[in-house]
């Protein structure tokens, strides 16, 4: 190696040493600065270990699995009520309430007691469960829930969710479309309804068996509380076969599952599920002083709902048997003993013309068995009779005056035996007022029934003016609501059909005369009918 090579090598080594020294210095300085900064940052808690966020990893539980599986099966239901425009006020409904009605005595039930707890119990529609009544002539809207039970679009919900609704819309989770729905049938006694949407290949929820439930079992509720769709809550079964004081008027058929799963206004009609994700109830009501969740909710058992559903899709309504009796509320052993029975239910009323009356049953009879099955409480009798086919014969064992008897009772249809309770006309009741009929000249006429004629002290014939349009021809010539037309152009009017026939021959410009009777009080509690003769010329348009 030459002298110059040695010099160059020495210079290279020196330069490398300087660079290394500088790098080490920079590294030491950086570490020192970082340590100082870290020490400064942890000055508040120098002995605390910083937390770290782990890599994302999805956790899973049975509740999460159920919620995911039921997501496409639980729907949001929105309803609108738009009243029809009325021309008269006589047939206008009174009011539409969202308050749980007071419990009434139910035929074939155990009594007529009311309960001070009634104010605790409220329906839970999306309006917040308010206590005020809404007039039926005012538009309204509400929200509820439902559960798909058939892939072809059939949905179970509560009757009070869709009751009186003019328009029903269904919305599915993760689908912004509002699907119009129609009511297939309802059942007031259990507050259940079946509706249908025109959408195929839906995912129906799996039906469970509510008879398998035990107090303490896990439950989940899914619905749209306060409009928040697909809300999931969990709890346990708090009680079974709960009879709720102040519930729907026909609480004879309402024996609820009680749960503490949080349910609120808007959950109504949604499913209550077991830990296997099976529907074991339809959420129906809550007990609340405020209208919101307070840990007590009630669901109609799915076994009851399935029976109702099957009847509705087959017949359009639910048919229940009845024999037409009223039963004592309590099973007083001393009372039964005095009347000669060890067990049974005491008959306090036998309804006129009912199957029980026709079979010879009497007040103070004690029903001890039906078709050989012992009866210990009123619900035993109600369940057997309600599930019996209409027209079938039951052998009912009774004790009367300490003597055992057997009566053959033919089961009747509940809605017919108690027609008045179900919105029909009670047998033997006065005739309902016929609906008003629009006729020419700007007025409405109503037929006069025999009962109306007796009440009005009319001898015969006539057609009652139900309303007169202001400014019309009828108004101009002096006709008024309450007048009875007995002649039109000297031809007798004994019915609304007579009037229509006569007026059909009149043309604009023809003279027309009315012979009417107008009522005036006579001070003796009755009324005098004063004859009036009114006339005019038929206007253009013959209105």
Is 388 marked active-site? no
Outline where DSSP puts E strands in 202-344: 218-223, 231-242, 256-259, 271-273, 279-287, 297-301, 321-322, 325-327
* Residues 167, 195 contacting (CB under 8 angstroms): no
Contacts of 522 (CB under 8 A, 6+ apart): 528
Q: Which of 73, 238, 268, 354 is catalytic?
A: 268
Helix (H, G, I), strand (E, B) or coil at 197: strand
Instruction: Tell me, yes or no, if 160 is annotated catalytic.
Output: yes
Residues 6+ apart with CB under 8 A from 412: 321, 322, 323, 324, 354, 355, 390
Q: Is 343 a catalytic residue?
A: no
**Catalytic residue selected from 78, 106, 160, 255:** 160
Which residue among the candidates 191, 260, 365, 498 is catalytic per the annotation? Answer: 191
Centre a 10 Å sphere on the Cβ of residue 513 and count the other Cβ atoms it contains. Answer: 13
Instruction: State CA 9 to chain mean position distance.
Output: 100
- 41 CB neighbour count, 10 Å cutoff: 11
The DSSP line for 112-143 is: ----GGGGGEE---TT------B-TTS-EEEE
Q: What is d(CA 499, CA 447) in angstroms, rounded to the nearest whole number?
A: 11
Q: How many CB atoms lie within 10 A of CB 200?
A: 8
Beta strand ranges found along 130-255 (DSSP E):
140-150, 154-158, 167-172, 179-187, 192-197, 218-223, 231-242
Residue in the block written with tokens 């009011």 = 95
Active site residues: 160, 191, 268
């Amino acid at each position: 190696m030459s002298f110059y090579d040695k010099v160059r090598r020495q210079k290279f080594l020196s330069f490398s040493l300087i660079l290394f020294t500088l790098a080490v210095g920079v590294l030491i300085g950086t570490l020192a600065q970082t340590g100082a900064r870290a020490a400064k940052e942890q000055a508040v808690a120098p002995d605390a270990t910083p937390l770290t966020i782990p890599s994302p990893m999805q956790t899973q539980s049975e509740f999460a699995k159920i919620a995911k599986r039921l997501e496409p099966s639980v729907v949001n239901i929105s309803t609108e009520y738009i009243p029809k425009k009325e021309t008269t006020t006589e047939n206008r409904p009174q009011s539409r309430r969202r308050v749980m009605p007071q419990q009434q005595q139910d035929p074939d039930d155990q009594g007529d007691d009311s309960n001070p707890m009634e104010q605790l119990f409220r329906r839970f529609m999306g309006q917040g469960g308010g206590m005020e009544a809404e007039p039926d002539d005012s538009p309204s809207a509400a929200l509820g829930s439902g559960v798909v039970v058939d892939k072809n679009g059939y949905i179970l919900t509560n009757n009070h969710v869709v009751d009186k609704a003019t328009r029903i819309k269904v919305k599915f989770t993760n689908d912004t479309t509002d699907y119009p729905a129609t009511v297939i049938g309802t059942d007031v006694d259990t507050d259940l309804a079946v509706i249908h949407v025109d959408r195929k290949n839906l995912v129906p929820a799996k039906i469970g068996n509510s008879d398998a439930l035990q107090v303490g079992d896990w439950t989940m509720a899914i619905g749209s509380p306060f409009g928040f769709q697909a809300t999931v809550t969990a709890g346990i079964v708090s009680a079974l076969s709960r009879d709720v004081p102040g519930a729907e008027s026909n609480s004879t058929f309402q024996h609820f599952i009680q749960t503490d799963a949080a349910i609120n206004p808007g959950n109504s009609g949604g499913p209550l599920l077991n830990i296997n994700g099976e529907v074991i109830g339809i959420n129906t009501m809550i007990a609340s002083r405020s209208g919101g969740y307070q840990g007590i909710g009630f669901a109609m058992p799915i076994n009851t709902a399935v029976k109702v559903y099957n009847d509705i899709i087959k017949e359009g309504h639910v048919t229940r048997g009845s024999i037409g009796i009223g039963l004592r509320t309590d099973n007083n052993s001393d009372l039964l003993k005095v009347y000669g029975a060890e067990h049974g239910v005491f008959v306090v009323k036998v309804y006129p013309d009912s199957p029980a009356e026709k079979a010879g049953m009497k007040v103070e009879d004690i029903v001890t068995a039906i078709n050989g099955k012992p009866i210990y409480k009123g619900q035993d009798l109600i369940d057997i009779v309600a599930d019996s086919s209409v027209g079938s014969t039951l052998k009912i064992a009774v004790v009367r005056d300490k003597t055992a008897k057997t009566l053959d009772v033919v089961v009747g249809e509940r809605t017919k035996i108690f027609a008045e309770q179900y919105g029909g006309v009670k047998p033997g009741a006065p005739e309902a007022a016929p609906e008003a009929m629009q006729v020419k000249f700007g007025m409405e006429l109503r037929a006069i029934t025999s009962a109306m004629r007796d009440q009005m002290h009319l001898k015969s014939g006539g057609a009652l003016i139900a309303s007169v349009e202001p400014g019309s021809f009828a108004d101009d010539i002096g006709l008024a609501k309450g007048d009875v037309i007995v002649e039109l152009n000297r031809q007798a009017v004994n019915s609304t059909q007579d009037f229509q026939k006569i007026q059909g021959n009149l043309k604009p410009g023809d003279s027309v005369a009315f012979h009417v009777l107008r009522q005036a009080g006579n001070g003796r509690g009755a009324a005098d009918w004063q004859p009036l003769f009114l006339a005019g010329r038929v206007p253009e348009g013959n209105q």
